[in-house]
Amino acid sequence: MIRNKMLIPSIYPILDSSLVPFADLEKAAQAIMDGGIKIIQLRAKGLSSREFLESALIIRRTTKERNILFIVNDRVDIALLTDADGVHLGQDDLPVKEARRILGNDKIIGCSTHNLREALEAAKLPVNYISFGPIFPTKTKKDAQAPKGIKGLSEARKAVGIPIVAIGGITETNMIHALKQGADSVAMISEILTSADVSKKINKLISIAKDFQANE
């Protein structure tokens, strides 16, 4: 199993059906990909299984054509059916070890963590990366835990050796703070999906990350 820092691109867009209507998911995905991203996650908790699969199949076709990593949130079955590059699992989803057994060693598995204990436990599992947060206050996830702040992210970074994706309230203006504390990537949902020009926003975020890395 690969645990490579270069595996997870610096900007990690999450296409969330709570912010984008089912009928507009394909269009939104295209706009995100047009911005030059290298990874996209489909999060569709409000959709039926049929709708989730339909959207995933459509988006997967384009990600294959463009050589973009496609990650399915929560649903190992839909990741399998669409031949997605991987799955992202929450604390209450299918256990990581079972997901790895089903998907095999070539697929990417990410795991959500919300505190240092969960980060340490997840790092012992067969995952390729963990997400950590929320770092800042967020309205996207209604059941989000209290923000862990930059300090919490720094503690997690010192404690685990696998890639960390910072998530929760990440914006164009504060993403550098997360990267400075050792996050390998920053995940964004509303910052991207509510922007006036999604492709332009993605392009700018990538540019900011590249400038930061060049000066490190």
- The DSSP line for 131-186 is EE--SS--SSSTT-----HHHHHHHHHHH--S-EEE-SS--TTTHHHHHHTT-SEE
Q: Which of 10, 17, 43, 60 is catalytic?
A: 43
pLDDT value at residue 42: 98
Higher pLDDT, 4 or 163: 163
pLDDT value at residue 138: 78
Q: Are 22 and 55 in contact (CB under 8 A)?
A: yes
88-117 pLDDT, tens digit each: 999 999 999 999 999 999 999 999 999 999
Q: Write down the pTM of the prediction.
A: 0.93
pLDDT value at residue 2: 41
- Known catalytic membership, residue 141: yes
- Known catalytic membership, residue 27: no
Q: Which of 38, 141, 154, 195 is catalytic?
A: 141
Per-residue pLDDT band at 4 (split at 50, 70, 90): very low
Q: Which of 17, 55, 112, 185 is catalytic?
A: 112
Residue whose C-alpha is closest to residue 26's, from 65, 67, 60, 55: 55
CATH, domain range 7-214: 3.20.20.70
Tokens of 77: 């079955």
Instruction: Give percent above pLDDT 70 in the chain.
Output: 94
Pairing type for strands 39-43 and 11-16 reads: parallel
Per-residue pLDDT band at 148 (split at 50, 70, 90): confident
pLDDT value at residue 177: 96
pLDDT value at residue 178: 97
Q: Region 11-33: what's the mean pLDDT?
A: 97
64-95 pLDDT, tens digit each: 999 999 999 999 999 999 999 999 999 999 99
Domain boundaries, the chain: 7-214
Q: Are 18 and 143 in contact (CB under 8 A)?
A: no
Mean pLDDT computed over every residue of the chain: 93
- Known catalytic membership, residue 66: no
